Structure 1
Amino acid sequence: MAIVVVFELPGMTQAQYERSAEMVAGRPGPVKSPSDWPVAGLVSHTAAPTSDGWLVVDVWESEEAFQQFGETIIPILKELGVSDAQPRVYPVFNAVTR
């Protein structure tokens, strides 16, 4: 079952987000495709600045796929000084894509 994963990251900067994306992709520059992720199963990724940090909303094909990705992203965020990254996870009821 697909899931939505929401990270609200107070205090995270755009520079930290951009660096985390490079570390996830394993190369310089922004992530542009699900193939940039180190594990399969990403459906969509959206990131935006907030008044006090950063917001990331992902849709994953399954909770197992996200858990596998979590083994990569959580240590990256900690390394970048984003210490309280606790995602909220919701089952997808409906998803509309192009």
Structure 2
Amino acid sequence: MAIIVELNMTGATQDQYEQVANKVTGGRGLVKGRSDWPVPGVIAHVAGPGENGWFVVDVWESEEAWQRFAEILVPFAQEVGMPDFQPRIYPAFNVVTE
């Protein structure tokens, strides 16, 4: 079952997001397509400024796929000094990609 992952990263900056994205892609900059992800399973990714930091919403094929990515994401976020964040996970009822 697809899931929605919400990351409301209070205190995080666009610069930190870009640094993490560069690490995720192995030095190729921002993630631009599904093939840029280090693990399979991402359906959609949206990121931008939030009220108090940086905000990300992802859709993943499953919670297991998200967890595989989280194991890569969290150490990179810590390396760039991003504040700790707690993902909120919701079941997806309807996913439209085109």
Q: TM-score range, shorter-chain basis?
A: over 0.9
Deviation sequence 1:10-37 (CA, Å, 0-9, x none): 1111100011100111123211001111
Deviation at 1:50, TM superposition (A): 1.5
- 5+ residue gaps, structure 1, are none
Q: Distance in 2 between matches of 1:34 and 1:60?
A: 11
Contact residue 10 and residue 83 of structure 2 kept, 8 A: no
How many residues in Structure 1 have an aligned counterpart in Structure 2?
A: 98
Contact residue 10 and residue 85 of structure 2 kept, 8 A: no
Contact residue 11 and residue 54 of structure 1 kept, 8 A: yes
Query: What is the root-mean-square deviation of aligned Cα atoms in Å?
Result: 0.9
| DSSP 3-state at the match of 1:90 | strand
* Superposed structure 1 runs of 4+ greater than 4 Å apart: none
| DSSP 3-state at the match of 1:84 | coil
1:14-93 to 2 correspondence within 5 Å? 14-93=14-93
Contact residue 12 and residue 83 of structure 2 kept, 8 A: no
The answer on 1:13 being equivalent to 2:5 is no
Deviation at 1:83, TM superposition (A): 3.2
Q: Which amino acid aligns with 2:72?
A: T
Deviation at 1:68, TM superposition (A): 0.5
Deviation at 1:55, TM superposition (A): 0.3
Paired-residue identity, %: 54
- 5+ residue gaps, structure 2, are none
Instruction: Give the TM-score normalised by the residue count of structure 1.
Output: 0.95
Q: Distance in 1 between matches of 2:6 and 2:51?
A: 16
